Amino acid sequence: MTTDQKVQGPDGTGGKGTGGKTGTDAASAAETELLEENLRKIDALTKRLIAAFSQKRQIDPSLQGPGQDLMLKASTAYMTEWMSNPAKLLEHQISYWGKTLKHYVDAQQAMMQAPLSPPQDPTPTDKRFSDPHWATHPYFNYLKQQYMLSSEAMRQAVADVEGLSPKDKQRLEFFSRQIIDMMSPTNFLATNPDALERAVATEGESLIRGLENLIADLEANNGELIVRLADESAFELGRNIATSPGKVVYRNNLFELIQYSPSTEKVDATPIVIFPPWINKFYILDLKAQNSLVKWIVDQGYTLFMVSWVNPDQSHRDIGMGDYIEDGFLTAIREVKEITAQEQVHAVGYCIAGTTLSLTLSLMKQRGDTSVKSATFFTALTDFSDQGEFQPFLTDDFIDGIEAETKDKGILPSVIMARTFSFLRSNDLVYGPAIKSYMLGDTPPAFDLLYWNGDGANLPQRMAMEYLRGLCQQNKLVEGGFELLGHRLKLEDIDVPLIAIGCETDHIAPWKDSYRGVRMMGSADKTFVMTQSGHIAGIVNPPSKGKYGHYTNDNLSLDHEDWLEGAKFHEGSWWPRWGAWLENRSDGKVDARIPGEKGRDTLGEAPGTYVVRKARG
């Protein structure tokens, strides 16, 4: 057979028996059908998108970004600097223009040579640009380098603004950083090579999936865009997360009290009660058996109780900090004492609950109540004189916006807090997940920590404003005392043995600020431990992982820099050190306590009913 002879199909058409259609025709028909199907999907999704956006409420503009006052101050300061020192600003502008022009010329020259390649790339490593095209493809490399040059120029311009107060300067730096991060070429389909390749390879199916993910996130949050970080269908509380066995032994309108089942025959006589933050859910301390602090404490031979806070709705509008103390902390301590027939407990407070534990201990001291044998603080702030990364969100305009929002709804919705926390780490918690979900069409991962992170809680109106105004803004606990329940509560009243855990890279409760508050407490028996990692990973750090170490220094008379300079580093988790600290304050062993024994009624299995309630705005 010669090369110009054709192979005949069984039907004599030269094809593959497709009824007259060649293989190319069949493929073309299939592509057309797929395109039409995708167009039908887009039409249906567009209708859902419009419906989702229609649910969005108008939110006070002050909660969306800086007010005009900051921009006016910044503009005035910049113009003043221009008038007084034009050479300095011209130098920066000309430097930026020069770098931009040089890069443009270098890129042109490189593209005219064979083989086609980008110019030399001196920009720093950035995980956003990990796709090889950013380094090898002339077009994408050009976009990346121009973005880096512009980002550097913008940061320098903000850094050189003078005449602003330190707080206004910090706010300007924060919000300009948000603009820089938002404008990254990785955040746009037309300039994201990874997303474009995925779209071509899947014939647009990845974009359909991405649009479905986007709409699902909007529908889940009443039109507000909060990027879903985890596959929520992969987890069920009590089945594969928060599985430590126990019983709900008490319930009121503010919390459920869980008593965990013992795993040892003998337990320490003094029980432990943990007060987790009510901004989030308690099961961060009981994600799975391998990293559960709950399980570890029980396995050390302690009777453990956990407070599971209610997820507030409008009916909780008038619940304040005093209610959290009286109906929360003091009531839980009373119930634990009654159940265990003990006169004292070891109390643990995490984050905002640690702050409130300090208020409770001051109140108990003034009332002559000695029910707390020792106190443990996990990443708790008590001195708010340095507001750190939260400073842009603690100015009057932002808090005024929150006050208007809470008066309208009776709660501070979890979506506002989630958005605030996320933008403190926008590339990791906003833009990166959004690219994967919306542009690449990936399903969010089945990651328990991220699932917990997205399972937020509301705050009652009164409590939120008392906390934000009285503690965060006015720092009353340190400066003169915080008036509550007929008492003026102060840190120096706290005289029980205490241990505090700070986290080295914590951006929510910086360890140096936690340490500063501990130094002001009145106890003669104080221990401070700084663990590696951040607000969550530093606390949820099981010994079996051997991952993060910790620092200790008995001299708490030093400022934080000198304390760290003289601190000793220890490999491994701080949990065993805390266990030894508790054991040194032990009252001996008793038979293990079973939830519901001695006729005590139980109200259901752990993790209870309050923890499964989703936040509703």
Residue 376, beta-bridge partner list: 348, 499
Residue 304, beta-bridge partner list: 272
Residue 350, beta-bridge partner list: 378
Is-cis flag, bond preceding 607, omega within 30? yes
Rounded-to-5 percentages of helix, strand, coil across the chain: 50, 10, 40
Contact (Cβ atoms closer than 8 angstroms) between residue 317 and residue 461: yes
Q: Which residues contact 142 (CB under 8 A, 6 or more apart)?
A: 103, 107, 118
What does each C-alpha distance from 248 to 327, 387, 516, 541, 602 come to in angstroms?
Answer: 17, 37, 37, 26, 6
CA dihedral 579, 583, 586, 588 (to 10 degrees): 110
Tally the residues of the chain.
Answer: 617
Which of these, 188, 304, 204, lies nearest to 245 by C-alpha position?
A: 304
| DSSP codes joined into one string, 156-222 | HHHHT--SS-HHHHHHHHHHHHHHHHHT-GGGSGGG-HHHHHHHHHTTTHHHHHHHHHHHHHHHHTT
Residue 373, beta-bridge partner list: none
- Rg of the Cα trace of the chain? 29
CA distance 597 to 343: 19
- Known active-site residue 472: no
CA dihedral 291, 293, 298, 304 (to 10 degrees): -150
**DSSP letter (8 states) at residue 62:** G
Residue 480: left if φ>0, alpha if ψ -120 to 50, beta else—which one? left
Residue 342 carries which side chain, given as an amino acid letter?
A: Q
CA 221 to chain centre: 17
Q: Please identify which of the residues 351, 415, 471, 491 carries the catalytic annotation.
A: 351
Residue 241, beta-bridge partner list: 237
Phi, psi of 245, rounded to the nearest 5 degrees: -70, 145
Alpha helices in 521-606 (DSSP H): 560-565, 575-583
E strand or H helix at 267 = strand 266-268
CA dihedral 461, 462, 464, 469 (to 10 degrees): 130
Maximum alpha-carbon separation in the chain: 107
Cβ of 466: how many Cβ atoms within 10 Å? 18
Residue 215 buriedness (CB in 10 A; 0-12 / 13-18 / 19+):
buried
Half-sphere exposure of 540 (CA within 13 A, CB side): 19
CA distance 246 to 305: 9
Phi, psi of 191, rounded to the nearest 5 degrees: -125, 25
Is-cis flag, bond preceding 115, omega within 30? yes
**Given the DSSP bridges, would you call strands 589-591 and 372-378 parallel, antiparallel or unpaired?**
unpaired
Residues annotated as catalytic (active site), given as ranges:
351
